Amino acid sequence: MFDIKKFGIEIEEDNGRYIYRRNGIEKVVFGKKIIFDLFPIVSSGISNYLQLKLRIPLVIAPSDKIKLEVTAPYDIEVRALKKKKWIPLETIYIQKEKYTLYGPVESGILCRYFESEIGKKEDTAILSLKIENQTKEWQEIKKIVFPAKFHLYCDKKIYYPPLDLVLNNLGLTVSKSEAVKGLREIERFIKDIGIQKKYTMVWGY
Amino acid sequence: MGILMIELMDIIEEIESKEIFGHSLSVWILSLIILIIGIFLAKFFSHLAWKWSRKRLDRHGQDTFKKIIYYFIVIIFVMMALNNLGIDFSGLLVAGGVLGIVLGFASQTVVSNLISGVFMYFDKPLKIGDTVAIENVEGVVTEIDILSTRIRTWDGNLVRIPNEKLFNSVIENKVSNEIRRVEVVVGIAYKEEVEHAINVIKKVVEDHRYVIVEPAPLIFVNELGDSSVNLTIKVWAPNDYAYQTQIELLKLIKQALDKEGIEIPFPQRDIWIRKK
């Protein structure tokens, strides 16, 4: 999907071992017939959550449902593969690596930060949102926070699994929806076990 | 064979007849065996308790639970061994009144530490691996015992703080939150334009990956010093990267100010010599 040379990666084979080099990072991988490949992953970096700050806030009428696509970040993981087993060698950050805190200082959660826009944009993934306002008031959404440990999908572009957003008295609940048919699932590396699939934003949205 | 048996019988008889502090050697050996079995069982069961507690308790809880099981079994076997030597515990109970007062005075600090340790277990002001500052001691918590807590300071020394002292101290736990504030102070020359310097620093701060977007960074004139206008930069960074962020920010701010030709002055004093 990605060209290794585009990212300045050099791989040198030397007597049953491979030397991986990029931007001053050097690793020696031992083994024969090792494949090196690049995989897009959800941007989370040192955190477990992702916060999409909507550049233009969404205003939703009472009891209304909307569907839209927004931009979302992705990183690229360089992996060494052999017999369907792989190890990540390095993460390449496509978008600027920034973090933010969602919630108060004493109990908030650290999130990877990204300024999201409606529609599609170069070097970003596509995230489909289904938003349902179950309250009897107008609602404004400025940011979306969700656990960022799942795998992505692709055809010619990169897709997040669609997210269902429900606004009610509890707050904004974000949950992972069924993947869109026809998209190829990018091989997973993260075990799904123990990963939170639903998150309720109680500190504002 | 017969000779061997006779020799063995002689040895046993000798052991039986030999007396140490009013007890035969065989009684002493039996007591020692009871003690060894006790220690072995205590180790075995405390290990089982630790394995059981691994998925149920935190590291502090696991250690405490393991030690309680260990010492409980050891105490029982020590009492059995002493009983074998003819030490009557009912006598001890009678004398307990006087002994209790004596022991009470003697072990006041120990008991105080023990109780503080129990309170700390429930209060959980810190846990193993936390970065803490307690009075003049700053470092990482390596062990929380029932009587004391050990802290590995930044220069690698191990400091043992009795739980009683710890319980009554102001504990600054630096990793109980996800983020920590980092502060940097930079002085610029009086001739420089403050607004421009703030914008240069703001760019550095915003570009740094570990400077948190929200809570937003603060950059302001903090003091009109003797030789410089002092700017304070207050940012938040993820806990594990706070120190790294502080070091990098200082370097990057210096480089950015140099690039823009903004002077960071050194302390200076004008001296006027009076004419005679």
Q: Pick A105's closest partner by Cβ from B215, B238, B240.
A: B215
What digits encode the pLDDT tens for the residues B105-133? 767 777 777 787 777 777 778 888 888 88
pLDDT beyond 50 at A157: yes
Q: Judge: domain B17-106, CATH 2.60.120.
A: no
Q: Pick A99's closest partner by Cβ from B176, B177, B210.
A: B210
> CA-to-CA distance for B262 and B254, rounded, in angstroms?
9
Contact between A105 and B238 using a beta-carbon 8 Å cutoff: no
Contact between B213 and A110 using a beta-carbon 8 Å cutoff: no
- In the structure, what pLDDT confidence band is assigned to residue B232 with cuts at 50, 70 and 90? very high
Contact between A96 and B209 using a beta-carbon 8 Å cutoff: yes
Q: Where does B123-173 sit in CATH, by number?
A: 2.30.30.60
Smallest CA–CA separation between B130 and chain A, in Å?
15
Smallest CA–CA separation between A111 and chain B, in Å?
9
Choose the weakest-confidence range: A65-74, A114-123, B20-29, B144-153. B20-29
For residue B213, the chain A residue with the least C-alpha distance is A100
Choose the weakest-confidence range: A11-15, A75-79, B20-24. B20-24
pLDDT beyond 90 at B16: no
Question: Structurally, how many domains does chain A consist of?
Answer: 1
Domain range for A97:
4-201
As for the ipTM of the complex, it is 0.86
B266 exposed, middle or buried (CB, 10 Å; 0-12, 13-18, 19+)? exposed
Beta-bridge partner residues of A132 = A65, A166
What digits encode the pLDDT tens for the residues A89-98? 889 998 899 9
Query: What value does the mean pLDDT take over residues A110-114?
Result: 95
pLDDT beyond 90 at A24: no
What digits encode the pLDDT tens for the residues B141-151? 888 887 888 99
The residue among B95 and B219 whose pLDDT is bigger is B219
Query: What value does the mean pLDDT take over residues B82-93?
Result: 73
- In the structure, what pLDDT confidence band is assigned to residue A52 with cuts at 50, 70 and 90? very high
> CA-to-CA distance for B146 and A71, rounded, in angstroms?
53
For residue B212, the chain A residue with the least C-alpha distance is A100
Taking contacts as CB-CB distances below 8 angstroms, the residues of chain A near B209 are 96-99
pLDDT beyond 50 at B98: yes
pLDDT beyond 70 at A104: yes
Taking contacts as CB-CB distances below 8 angstroms, the residues of chain B near A44 are none
Q: Where does B179-259 sit in CATH, by number?
A: 3.30.70.100
Smallest CA–CA separation between A97 and chain B, in Å?
5
Q: Please report, for chain B, the start and end positions of each structural domain, with discontinuous segments joined by +.
A: 17-106, 123-173, 179-259
B240 close to A (CB below 8 A): yes
Query: What value does the mean pLDDT take over residues B9-30?
Result: 75
pLDDT beyond 90 at B209: yes
The residues in B 124-183 lying below 8 A from A, measured between CB atoms, are 176-179
R_g (Cα) of chain A, nearest Å: 19
- What's the confidence (pLDDT) of residue A194? 47
Smallest CA–CA separation between A116 and chain B, in Å?
15
Smallest CA–CA separation between B217 and chain A, in Å?
11
